[in-house]
Structure 1
Amino acid sequence: MIAKIVIPLLLMILVPDIYIYLNHIRAKTRLPLRLLWWLPSLSMVIYTVCMGCMRDFAPRDNAILNVYLFLLGLTVVPKLVFAMFSSAGLALQKVFRMRRNYGTAMGVFLAAGSLYVLFYGSFISFGKLDVRHIDYYSDTLPASFDGYRIVQFSDAHVGTYGRSRAGLLSRAVDSINARQPDMIVFTGDLQNMHPGEIRPHIPVLNRLKAHDGVFSVLGNHDYADYIAAPQSVKEANERETVELQTRMGWTLLRNENRAIFRGTDSIVIAGMENDGDGKHFPRKGDIGKTLAGVSDSAFVVMLEHDPTSWRNRILPHSNAALTLSGHTHAMQFELFGWSPVAFKYSEWGGMYYENTRAINVSTGLGGFIPFRFGVPGEIVVITLHKGTKQLH
């Protein structure tokens, strides 16, 4: 991950320091303090180069990456924010011949704001859990399933739940069970990089219980593509990830489906493998195989990790009424209902409709990085209703 952006990171570290040194440090401090100014930057440059030399997507010990990113937020981002606004203010000061650089004051204020975001998102918001409720109406839902309750959770990234955070996962499992769901679905990214992260959490995840069981699909992180290893090792890791979900009693759907019955009525729960762009994220989905044997008139709930597949594959090539996805995390940052991830994804968090068909994109439970601001971890309670929603 770091290896691909080493040069931009080094520029982000050094350029603000050079600007601040030339405009605010050099003429106002003594030589020992001027030399001391460069110590944090030198440390971050060395840390960045070391991180960039790693062959894997991230270190096997996630703490190394987490500390690095926290230090970026603590020592680099505030200076970057300050330098951007101060330099812009300096340019305006010269153009309009103003007496003061108002950008400097704004830069100080926003730099302090970036530190608030860092500490709140890392130590408070990441530990929060929301329960979002959705009512989905459909005329094609069999009458016996009116009121059927599905609880969705996604993107657990259990490798991030070390000893200090293990209680957060246990609390989420208890909250899911407390909804007394007819069905629990998990829409991918159980691990960060390898199945060894899952093993310590099996006793907790094994507690998930629902009348019709727990169904899951694989996310992009579950295919073990994030480690630099021979293909045989990656395949062995993927097999273990699959086996561990089976050991927990989950029904992992890999381009396949199951029928759920209430008397003579039935609905179909289908799960398609990750269907990403094929470049950055695996493209393994097969919509025909996923819905093999399913009648066109059946009510289908589709599980698919990557929400882009909804418009690319699911809407044009199936009759699935409701699709449940994850993947985006809302970039784990949201401000006034907007996230930067909206630049990349049309459907990135919440419920979206195309006529009577819909997709719910969960913003996830955890994250590869233990940080969330404005978008706490969530579980989603979806209640199915027969008929058309009544507007009042």
Structure 2
Amino acid sequence: MLRWIVFVVIYIVLGIYTLQALRTASRFPWVYYLYMLLSFLVLGNFIYQFTWGDNEGRVLSIAKSYSFGFLLAMLTFKLITMVFLFSEDMFRFLTAAYHKIFGKSKEFSFPERRRILSLIAMGIAALPFSALLYGMYKGKYNFKVLKYELEFEDLPNAFNGYQITQISDIHSGSFDNREKITYAIDLINRQKSDLLVFTGDMVNNKAEEMYPWKDLFAGLEAQDGKYSVLGNHDYGDYVNWETDAAKKENLEALKALQKDIGFNLLLNESQYLQKGNDKIALIGVENWGRGGFKKAGDLGKATAQIGENDFKILMSHDPSHWEDVVLHDKLHYHLTLSGHTHGMQFGIEIPGWVKWSPAKWRYKYWAGVYEERGQLINVNRGFGFLGYPGRVGIWPEITVITLKKKALS
């Protein structure tokens, strides 16, 4: 209860500051009343959803996600506005103190707020506010196909030009638009890749979340098959299960569901892809993540039947596994395919110019292709979304990777 009281007090204080900016910028009372109404509606809905709302055991239901999204947008607007007004208040205080101390004024009086500063503050605050709303409305389904050509000196000749489509982090429990998902599935199939891989987090928490979308994902096509691994959310670790048996049953249901969809689920296992006399090894490990995430991935077990000189593609959900374990393993993994970070679903990307997201503060390898020690990793930005029900700047991704034989100089 105390945390709710503290949060509400902070929210109200921020609201008062923003109201001061509105009063300085506008002379119409209805603007103030509308702002206060929206502010309290957003707060009230958030408190309701997280206290008396959907308690089915999911971390965030769709209703909870939207209540969080609207609160995030409102808080962002208030915080940015407050920064400008608080800075002005400090200046007003120092000005008043100066005039009082040096005898230029008998009273300690604050100068009036400057209307132009309030307008600038709210104008700047409106940008991320609008972006967050757009991210919830359209950004979350703004699917992008990102294509990479990756060269390897020891790629088997028969696999020169081999095309792989990677998707990750479906998070089907967050979906709310069947038409958009249908479009995305068609977009994946239009790539006509040889191989399709899914690198974990099919659901938020429960296998049942995928049931309404099962038929759509069963329509995914790839000539050489569809392969998958588990992500941290697939194990049901974030649900308060009544019994351990119920949790285990959920995981088995998810495994069966992946099979029904057509995915060959690799659980610390490997599979050779053959073309004539040439082959490459596809390796899939269970989730292994730094910082309290499940560490079920076992490279030794997964590669027990793999030769040291084989060309290897590893599927591992969390890129911290690549950084902490894979790069230092005795075997050389030519290409690792990961996801997990979502690129924090927020950032700024202009190809060739800028690539930034708060995700970089937590993950060294958070989106796109990286190379270390002669090994490559692609971190997919994710197909779905979780928590904040949207995406801003970091769009949902379908990765298409073409393997190329590097010409010897």
Alpha-carbon distance, 1:20 to partner: 4.3
Distance in 1 (alpha carbons) for counterparts of 2:6 and 2:373:
43
Of 261, 279, 283, which aligns to 1:266?
279
Q: Is 1:282 matched up with 2:288? A: no
- 1:240 aligns to 2:253 (yes or no): yes
Q: Distance in 1 between matches of 2:181 and 2:317?
A: 20
Cα pair 2:199 2:230 within 8 Å, conserved: yes
For residues 36 and 371 of structure 1, do their structure 2 counterparts lie closer, same or farther at Cα, with a shift above 3 Å needed?
closer
CA distance in 2, matches of 1:21, 1:43: 16
String of CA shifts for 1:208-243, please: whole Å, max 9, x gaps: 111210000111111111221132222111111111
Deviation by residue 1:274-327 (Cα, 9 ceiling, x = unmatched): 111252x22211111111111111111000111111111111013111000111
Distance in 1, matches of 2:138 and 2:44, equals 30
Aligned residue among 12, 15, 18 for 1:17: 15
Unaligned runs of 5+ in 1: none
Distance 1:375 1:23 in 2: 31
Contact 2:312/2:335, CA 8 A, preserved across alignment = yes
Match of 1:201 among 205, 213, 230: 213
Pick which of 50-59 and 73-82 moved more. 50-59
| Number of equivalences | 382
Quick one: structure 1 residues 8 and 325, their matched pair in 2 at CA, closer, same or farther if it must change by over 3 Å?
farther
Equivalent residue letter for 1:17: G
Matched, 1:362 2:375: no
Amino acid at match of 1:145: F
CA distance 1:153–1:285, change in 2 (3 Å) = same
Alpha-carbon deviations, 1:11-34, whole Å to 9, x = none?
Answer: 5522302444678769x9999999
Residue 264 of structure 1: how far off its partner (Å): 1.5
Equivalence for 2:107: none
From 320, 323, 326, the equivalent of 1:311 is 323
Secondary structure of the structure 1 residue equivalent to 2:297: coil
CA displacement 1:249-268 (0-9 Å, x = unmatched) = 21011111111111121101
Find the aligned partners of 2:408 and 2:171 in 1 and give their Cα distance. Answer: 35
Residue equivalent to 1:159: 173
Q: Corresponding residue for 1:372?
A: 391
- Cα distance, 1:140 vs structure 2: 1.8
2:21/2:122 contact within 8 Å kept: no
Aligned-partner residue type, residue 210 of structure 1: A
The structure that has the greater radius of gyration is 2
For residue 136 of structure 1, what is the aligned residue in structure 2?
150
Per the alignment, residue 321 of structure 1 pairs with 334
Name the CA distance, whole Å, in 1 between partners of 2:305 and 2:68: 48
C-alpha contact (below 8 Å) 2:46/2:68 kept by paired residues: no
C-alpha deviation, 1:106, in angstroms:
3.2
State which of 400, 404, 409 in structure 2 corresponds to 1:381.
400
**Equivalent-residue separation in structure 2 for 1:352 and 1:216 (angstroms):** 22
Sequence identity of aligned pairs in percent?
Answer: 31
1:149 aligns with 2:147: no
Q: Counterparts in 2 of 1:1-392, with a 5 A limit?
A: 9-10=7-8, 12-20=10-18, 43-53=41-51, 56=57, 58-59=59-60, 62-95=61-94, 101=114, 103-162=117-176, 165-230=177-242, 231-277=244-290, 279=292, 281-317=293-329, 318-336=331-349, 337-368=355-386, 369-388=388-407
Separation (CA, whole Å) in 2 of partners of 1:4 and 1:202: 43
Q: Find the aligned partners of 2:364 and 2:317 in 1 and give their Cα distance.
A: 15
CA contact (8 A) 1:133 1:380 kept: yes
CA distance in structure 2 between the partners assigned to 1:133 and 1:21 by the alignment: 47
| SS of the residue 2:208 aligns to | helix
Matched AA of 1:16 = L
Assess if the C-alpha contact under 8 Å between 1:55 and 1:228 holds in 2: no
1:329 CA displacement:
0.9
Structure 2, gaps ≥5 residues long: 97-110, 350-354
Tell me the CA shift for residue 49 of structure 1: 4.1
CA deviation map 1:64-87 (0-9, x unaligned): 213312331454332222112211
CA distance in 1, matches of 2:19, 2:195: 59
- 2:21, 2:81 within 8 Å by CA — same for their partners in 1? no
RMSD, matched Cα: 3.0
User: C-alpha separation between the residues in 2 aligned to 1:45 and 1:159?
Assistant: 24
Deviation readout 1:66-116 (Å, 9 max, x if unpaired):
331233145433222211221122213434678755653332112211232
TM-score (norm 2): 0.84
